[in-house]
C-alpha cells in the first residue's frame, strides 16, 4: 500500500520549502519532493534574498543561514555605450540587525532552508521527478513519480515546481507561457578575492552592494543586468523577456558577454574566474498571468504561480510568503477535514489581500507597456546620458543655453506631445 | 542469509578542490556522497538477499553526518544500518579503521551470525583498497578482492564462487562462507530506487554505536593513535600541457612535427650517433 501524507509539496525551492516548513511545524505529515540532487542544485536567481518574508517564517535566520553579505548599498546604473548616469542609496543601518536584504548563493541557501523544514519534521526526498498529479473524481489525491512503485498520496498536493510548472499546465491551470510572460536570465558566478571586491565596491567584509543596470546592458531590450557582491565572488547576469530576445535574434550568452565586456562594467569584474554558469526562465507575466491557484486537493505557489515583481526584482520573498500562506490554508482545511477547492480557496483570498496581490496589481501593466513602447530603454536612457554629458561638460556656453538645448534635444524628432505622452504613460503604469 | 556491507561516506572527488597552500583536500568544497563502489556492494547484497532471503545490514564508521550515506544504502534496499561514531575513532588510517570495523562486526556477530561481508573495491578519496582485506584478516576469513561477478552461492555446502577481475580476464575462485568480497563497479548497475525505499530512507535513523558499545576494544589501536601511516608530502599532479593541433597540408604538418620532435623534444639527442 502506497504511503499517504497530509501534504505533498513538489519542489524544494523557496516556495515549496516555506510551505513544507510551515505545514510540518503545525504538526502535519509532509513529504517534500525535489528533482535535483539536493535542494538548490537546480535553482537560479540573481542573488538577492529579502529579510522580511523569511524572518516571518524563521525569526533571526541571519544568525545561522548561509548568507553572503548584507546589502548596504543599492546602485542603479543607466547605461549608454561609453557612459552612464547613476544613482544609489547607501545606508549603514542596512548592515546591522534587522538588515534589509542579503546576497546569497542559492545552492547553499536552499539546501540549508530545506534542512530547516526537515528539522520541523518534513520528509525530504531528492532526485525524484513528479511526472503527474493523480486525479480521482475531479480531485487531486496524490502524485506519480518517475521511480518504480512511484505513486504516493496526500490530502493536498502543493505545486511549487517552478516557472514552467508542467504539473499546473497538465491540470489545465495555465497554458504554456507566452514568450512575453517569461524572461530569460543568464548569469555567472565570478570568483574574486574578498579584498579586491571590497576595494572595487568600497565596502568592508560584511557589507554588500547590489547594482541594477538598465539601458545598453540589454541593448535596448526590456530587461536589466545586475551585479551583486558575494563574500568572495560576484554574481553578474542579464535578463530580458524571451519575446525581446526572439525579436532581436539575440543569444542570451552573447548578451552576457556583451555586458561583461562593457567598458563601464568590465573594471569591476576584471580578473574574475568563472566558477558557475547558470540560466533560467523567470516568470514575469505579472498579475494578468497568474494562473488558477487552487483546485480540489491542489494549490500552486511561487514561480509556478508567476509570483514575481519584475520592477522590484522580488520573487523569492513572494515565493516564501505564498508557500507559507498555502500551508496555513491547509492547516485550516485539516481542522475542517475538508480539502475541496472551496476551503483551500482561503489561500487565494489571503494572497490577493497581501503585498503579493497588491504589488502585482499595482504593476500589472508595466512590463506589457514597456514591451510595447521600447523607447524608454532605446531612446530615453541614451538621452539621459547625452543630457548629463552636455550639462557637465565645461565648454564655455552659458548654463541657461545648455538647459534649453537639452530640453530641445529631448523633444527633438518626437515632438513635445509625444514626450509628454510617454511621461504620462510611464507615470500611469508605475503609480 | 545475513549480508553485511561496509560503506564509507566520501567527498565527491569529481568536484573537490585542493587547498593550494596546504595541498590538502578542501572538504567543504564538495558534498559528501556514498562511495560509488560501496553503492555497487550494497546493490549486490540486496540482489543476493532477494534471491537467497535473509537481510542486509550496512556498517560505517564516520562522523554523525555519515548517517546520510547509510540512508542512501537504505534507498538502495538495505534493511538496517549501523554507524560507529566517536571522537576516539577520528584520524584513523586503514589499519585503525579496519580494527574499529572489525570490533563492530564482532559485536554484530555476537547478536546474529554474519554469512557474507561485502565492501567496495576502494574508497574514491584514498584509493588504497586496504580496509576490506584488513577486516577479513582480522576476522580470519578469506578476502576475495576485485570481484566483478558472484557466480554461485551454495548455502547448503556453505561456499561461494566469484569472478575476480584480473588484467587479461577473470579468475574463477571458490571460497568457504563466511568470506569478504570487495567489488568492482562492473558487478552490477545500481538501479533507480523504488519510491517506498526512498521514503523509508528519508525517515530512517541508523543505530549509532560509540566505542563504549563495543566489547574488548584496545583504545590504543583506534583513531590517530592507532594509525602508523604518515603523510610525507602531498602535491597535485602536474597538469599536462595539452595537445597542439598542426594545420596546413600534409607535408607542412609532417615537417612541423619532425621539427618539434627533433628540436623541442630533443629526440635522438645524446643517444649515440652524433
pLDDT at A1: 53
* pLDDT beneath 50, residues of chain B: 273-274
Q: Which of B29, B195, B203 to mutate to test the interface with A (most CBs of A within 10 A)?
A: B195
Query: A202-239: per-residue pLDDT in tens?
Result: 999 999 999 999 998 888 788 899 999 999 999 999 99
Would residue A60 count as lying in a domain?
A: yes
CA distances to B15, B77, B122 from B191, rounded to whole Å, are: 23, 10, 21
Q: Are residues A224 and A329 in the same domain?
A: no
Tell me the residue range of the domain where A253 lies.
182-283
**Residue A166 pLDDT:** 92
pLDDT at A425: 83
Q: How many CB atoms lie within 10 A of CB A313?
A: 18
| CATH classification of the domain holding A266 | 3.30.9.10
Same domain membership, residue A422 and residue A278: no
Interface confidence, given as ipTM, is 0.81
For residue A224, tell me if it sits in a domain. yes
Same-domain check for residues A186 and A55: no
Q: CATH no. for residue A349?
A: 3.50.50.60
Residues A258 and A312 placed together within one structural domain of the fold: no
Collect the ranges in chain A with pLDDT lower than 70. 1-2
The number of beta carbons lying within 10 Å of the beta carbon of residue A131 is 14
**Which of A335, A362, A389 represents a domain boundary (last residue)?**
A362
User: Which helix (DSSP H) or strand (DSSP E) does residue B77 occupy?
Assistant: none
Check whether residue A298 and residue A401 sit in a common domain.
Answer: no
Q: Does the distance separating the beta carbons of B194 and A147 come in below 8 Å?
A: yes
A44 and A167 assigned to the same domain: yes
Instruction: Output the pLDDT for position A374.
Output: 79
Give the closest-approach CA distance of B198 to chain A in angstroms: 7
What's chain A's length in residues?
A: 431
Q: Among A352, A304, A17, which Cα is nearest to A169's? A: A304
Please indicate, yes or no, whether residues A50 and A143 belong to a single structural domain of this protein.
yes
Q: Is A31 on the interface with B (CB under 8 A)?
A: yes
- Which tens digit of pLDDT belongs to each residue from A5-36? 999 999 999 999 999 999 999 999 999 999 99
Q: Do A149 and B203 touch (CB under 8 A)?
A: no
My answer on whether A115 and A243 are in the same domain is no
Q: Among A227, A257, A283, identify where a domain stops.
A: A283
Domain-embedded: residue A95: no
**CATH of the domain spanning B2-221:** 3.40.50.620
Pick the residue of A149, A191, A233 with the most B CBs within 10 A to test the interface with B by mutation.
Answer: A149
Cα separation, A234 vs B13, whole angstroms: 25
In chain B, domain spans: 2-221, 240-274
Report yes or no: A134 and A143 within 8 Å, Cβ to Cβ: yes
Cross-chain residue pair A148–B202, CB shorter than 8 Å: no
Q: What is the pLDDT of residue B270?
A: 62
CB–CB contact B195 A148 (8 Å): yes
pLDDT at residue B274, as a whole number? 47
CA distances from A167 to A30, A60, A133 (A): 19, 34, 7
Provide the domain count of chain A: 3
Is A76 domain-assigned? Answer: no
A14 and A115 co-located in one domain: yes
- Residue A154 sits in the same domain as residue A264: no
Instruction: Output the CA angle A359-A8-A149, nearest 5 degrees.
Output: 145
Identify the pLDDT of residue B31: 81
Cross-chain residue pair A147–B203, CB shorter than 8 Å: no
Does residue B137 come out as left (phi exceeding 0), alpha (psi in the -120 to 50 range) or beta?
alpha
Is the same domain home to A334 and A409? no
The verdict on a CB contact (< 8 Å) between B194 and A148 is: yes
**Given this model, what pLDDT does residue A356 score?**
92
pTM surpassing 0.90? no
Which residue of A37, A123, A146 is in closest CB contact with B199? A123
Residue A88, domain member (yes or no): no
The answer to whether the CB atoms of B199 and A124 lie below 8 A apart is no
Residues A168 and A278 in one domain: no
Residue of chain B whose Cα is closest to the Cα of A2: B196
A74 domain residue, yes or no: no
- CB of A398 within 8 Å of any CB in chain B? no
Amino acid at each position: 500500500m502506497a504511503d499517504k501524507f497530509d501534504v505533498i509539496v513538489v519542489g524544494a525551492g523557496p516556495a515549496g520549502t516555506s510551505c513544507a516548513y510551515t505545514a510540518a511545524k503545525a504538526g502535519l505529515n509532509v513529504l517534500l519532493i525535489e528533482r535535483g540532487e539536493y535542494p538548490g542544485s537546480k535553482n537560479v536567481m540573481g542573488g538577492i534574498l529579502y529579510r522580511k518574508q523569511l524572518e516571518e517564517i524563521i525569526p533571526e535566520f541571519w544568525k545561522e543561514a548561509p548568507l553572503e553579505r548584507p546589502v548596504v548599498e543599492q546602485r542603479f546604473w543607466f547605461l549608454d555605450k561609453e557612459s552612464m548616469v547613476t544613482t544609489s542609496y547607501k545606508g549603514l543601518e542596512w548592515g546591522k540587525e534587522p538588515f534589509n536584504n542579503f546576497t546569497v548563493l542559492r545552492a547553499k541557501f536552499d539546501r540549508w532552508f530545506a534542512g530547516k523544514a526537515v528539522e520541523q519534521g518534513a520528509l525530504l526526498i531528492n532526485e525524484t521527478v513528479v511526472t503527474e498529479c493523480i486525479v480521482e473524481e475531479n480531485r487531486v489525491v496524490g502524485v506519480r513519480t518517475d521511480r518504480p512503485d512511484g505513486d504516493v498520496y496526500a490530502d493536498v498536493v502543493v505545486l511549487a515546481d517552478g516557472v514552467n510548472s508542467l504539473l499546473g499546465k497538465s491540470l489545465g491551470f495555465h497554458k504554456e507561457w507566452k514568450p512575453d510572460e517569461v524572461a530569460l536570465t543568464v548569469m555567472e558566478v565570478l570568483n574574486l578575492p574578498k579584498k579586491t571586491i571590497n576595494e572595487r565596491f568600497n565596502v568592508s567584509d560584511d557589507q554588500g552592494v547590489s547594482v541594477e543596470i538598465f539601458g545598453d546592458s540589454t541593448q535596448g531590450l526590456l530587461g536589466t543586468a545586475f551585479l551583486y557582491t558575494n563574500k568572495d565572488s560576484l554574481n553578474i547576469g542579464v535578463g530580458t523577456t524571451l519575446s525581446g530576445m526572439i525579436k532581436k535574434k539575440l543569444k542570451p550568452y552573447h548578451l552576457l558577454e556583451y555586458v561583461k565586456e562593457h567598458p563601464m562594467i568590465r573594471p569591476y569584474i576584471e580578473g574574475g574566474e568563472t566558477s558557475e554558469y547558470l540560466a533560467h526562465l523567470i516568470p514575469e507575466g505579472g498579475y494578468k498571468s497568474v494562473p488558477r491557484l487552487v483546485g480540489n486537493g491542489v494549490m500552486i505557489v511561487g514561480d509556478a504561480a508567476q509570483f514575481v515583481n519584475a520592477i522590484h526584482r522580488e520573487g523569492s520573498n513572494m515565493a516564501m510568503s505564498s508557500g507559507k500562506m498555502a500551508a496555513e490554508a491547509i492547516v485550516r482545511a485539516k481542522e475542517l477535514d475538508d480539502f475541496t477547492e472551496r476551503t483551500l480557496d482561503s489561500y487565494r483570498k489571503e494572497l490577493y489581500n497581501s503585498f503579493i496581490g497588491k504589488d502585482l496589481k499595482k504593476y500589472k501593466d508595466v512590463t506589457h507597456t514597456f514591451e510595447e513602447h521600447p523607447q524608454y530603454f532605446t531612446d530615453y536612457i541614451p538621452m539621459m546620458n547625452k543630457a548629463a554629458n552636455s550639462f557637465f561638460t565645461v565648454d564655455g556656453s552659458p548654463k541657461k543655453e545648455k538647459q534649453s538645448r537639452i530640453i530641445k534635444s529631448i523633444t527633438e524628432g518626437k515632438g513635445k506631445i509625444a514626450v509628454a505622452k510617454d511621461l504620462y504613460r510611464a507615470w500611469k503604469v508605475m503609480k | 542469509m545475513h549480508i553485511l556491507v561496509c560503506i564509507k561516506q566520501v567527498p565527491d572527488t569529481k568536484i573537490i578542490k585542493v587547498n593550494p597552500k596546504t595541498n590538502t583536500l578542501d572538504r567543504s568544497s564538495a558534498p559528501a556522497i556514498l562511495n560509488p563502489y560501496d553503492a555497487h556492494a550494497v546493490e549486490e547484497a540486496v540482489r543476493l538477499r532477494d534471491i537467497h532471503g535473509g537481510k542486509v545490514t550496512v556498517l560505517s564508521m564516520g562522523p554523525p553526518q555519515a548517517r546520510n550515506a547509510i540512508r542512501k544504502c537504505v534507498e538502495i534496499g538495505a534493511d538496517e544500518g549501523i554507524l560507529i561514531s566517536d571522537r576516539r575513532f577520528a584520524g584513523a588510517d586503514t589499519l585503525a579503521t579496519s580494527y574499529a570495523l572489525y570490533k563492530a562486526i564482532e559485536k554484530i556477530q555476537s547478536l546474529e551470525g554474519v554469512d557474507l561481508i561485502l565492501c567496495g573495491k576502494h574508497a574514491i578519496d584514498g584509493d588504497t583498497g586496504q580496509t576490506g582485506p584488513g577486516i577479513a584478516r582480522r576476522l580470519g576469513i578469506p578476502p576475495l578482492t576485485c570481484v566483478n561477478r558472484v557466480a554461485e552461492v551454495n548455502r547448503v555446502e556453505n561456499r561461494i564462487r566469484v569472478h575476480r577481475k584480473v588484467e587479461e580476464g577473470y579468475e574463477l575462485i571458490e571460497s568457504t562462507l563466511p568470506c569478504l568480497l570487495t567489488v568492482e563497479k562492473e558487478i552490477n548497475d545500481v538501479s533507480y530506487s523504488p519510491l517506498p525505499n526512498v521514503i523509508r530512507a528519508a525517515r530512517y535513523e541508523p543505530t549509532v554505536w560509540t566505542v563504549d558499545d563495543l566489547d574488548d576494544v584496545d583504545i590504543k589501536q583506534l583513531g590517530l593513535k592507532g594509525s602508523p601511516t604518515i603523510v610525507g608530502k602531498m602535491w597535485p599532479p602536474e597538469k599536462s600541457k595539452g595537445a597542439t593541433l598542426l594545420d596546413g597540408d600534409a607535408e607542412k604538418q609532417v615537417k612541423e612535427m619532425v621539427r618539434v620532435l627533433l628540436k623541442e623534444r630533443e629526440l635522438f639527442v645524446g643517444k649515440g650517433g652524433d
